[in-house]
Structure 1
């Protein structure tokens, strides 16, 4: 057991100059991507719940101007992604994004439409399964 511990390679001591260079590069990259926003508005992706005011309060019942931008953002936030965006925003949205069939369905065309057909055997087994389920439910 002592021989196994002796074979471990020793780690090099921490090089402070390299660590400082890595830190400086990280801070430089963060500063390049940082943007200062001064135009504040509501978050359209957060659900908003409004509370009604008191019925006899004057400041709640006073008519004010409606903010069209605010109403447009709220309306857009409640829409489904297909109406908000032209293309899917994530990989998961790609499934089912284009839900309309590429070709119109023609149920009269026997080459591509195969309706369910019951034979005597399938009808018999359907009835047998129904009777079995009814007997199990009665017990």
Structure 2
């Protein structure tokens, strides 16, 4: 059966195999195996700093107590860091919580519940 104008006839398995072997042969001809590598003297090399969180860079270094205390102090909440509020928005609720925590009030307390479905 003749193909219409602009349409190609589908290839059979033999023709597909010939196309694939030709393609593989051309690819293998152009590939080269490199086993030795060196730095290009014409290309400038930029040194990179070490990664601060990598475990192998920090093995020999001792922990700086002053730095660790600074990090732990920065992670504290503002009421434990400072004796008085630092901003206007911190003044709200600085000395006492805004609402009394009542565990029996079901509007604000959602404890986990066990039911037959969740067991």
Q: TM-score interval w.r.t. the shorter chain?
A: 0.3 to 0.5
TM-score under structure 2 length normalisation: 0.34
TM-score under structure 1 length normalisation: 0.30
Higher Rg of the two aligned structures: 2
